[in-house]
Amino acid sequence: MNDPQKKPTEAEPEATQADAGPDAKGHEHDAAQASGEPASNGSEGQDGSRKDDRAAALEAEVASLKDQLLRNLAETENMRRRAQREREDTAKYAVSSFAKELVAVADNLRRAVEAVTPEQREQDEALKNLLTGVEATERQLQAAFDRAGIKRMEALGEQFDPNFHQVVFEVENTGKPGGTIVQVLQEGYTIHGRLLREAMVGAAKRGADEPVSRVDTSA
């Protein structure tokens, strides 16, 4: 009998990737880099930097808008206060012209009372009653002045102040310091602290060697 023939041996399988060794892996990594694939770490860093820049720009814009808003609010408040002061001043001083006429009436009432001596008043009952009515009217007028902020200035004995007094004449040898008001010819008035009518006065004459006193007008 003839011996069976041997089967031809199968071809050995090709080497697998695992068997290729470290050199093959290195070549693949180099090929990937050569193909232009972006590095993930560098891209993320650039995106983070751009986000930080945008956030800083937004914060600066918000701060600028906030500052502008505060300035506008402050200016609006100042305008409101100025308008309110103007309205108040208008209400206070709108009657100044009319008030000047009223103080002239007060002057005439006072002159009428002072023109009658106490003896004449007691001797004439009709005159006495008339003066009583005049004095009552004078008191009512003064009460109206008080409600309107109109005040009579006390000038007698005070030092002359060009802001409130008008010197009509000077008196020598009064024994008082120069510039002292020794007589009031016409009462002065203020309205809410502002001059309404200056007082007409007579003042002590200043001596040649007497220093000029300075009046504080800063108030």
> pLDDT tens digit string along 27-84?
454 544 544 555 455 566 677 778 788 888 888 889 998 999 899 889 888 988 888 8
Least confident of 21-30, 62-71, 138-147, 199-208: 21-30
In a domain, 184, yes or no: yes
Tell me what pLDDT residue 139 has. 95
Domain that includes residue 193, residue range: 152-204
Tell me what pLDDT residue 97 has. 87
In a domain, 120, yes or no: yes
Is residue 136's pLDDT more than 60? yes
DSSP string, the chain: -PPPPPPPPPPPPPPPTGGG-HHHHHHHHHHHHHTTPPPHHHHHHHHHHHHHHHHHHHHHHHHHHHHHHHHHHHHHHHHHHHHHHHHHHHHHHTTHHHHHHHHHHHHHHHHHHHTS-HHHHHH-HHHHHHHHHHHHHHHHHHHHHHHTTEEE---TTSBP-TTTEEEEEEESS-SS-TTBEEEEEE--EEETTEEEEPEEEEEEPPPTTSPPPPP----
Residue range 165-174, pLDDT digits in tens: 999 999 988 8
Domain count, the chain: 2
Domain of 200, CATH number, reads: 2.30.22.10
In a domain, 180, yes or no: yes
Q: What is the average pLDDT score of the chain?
A: 80
In a domain, 105, yes or no: yes
pTM for the predicted model, two decimal places: 0.57
pLDDT band at 219 (very low <50, low <70, confident <90, very high): very low
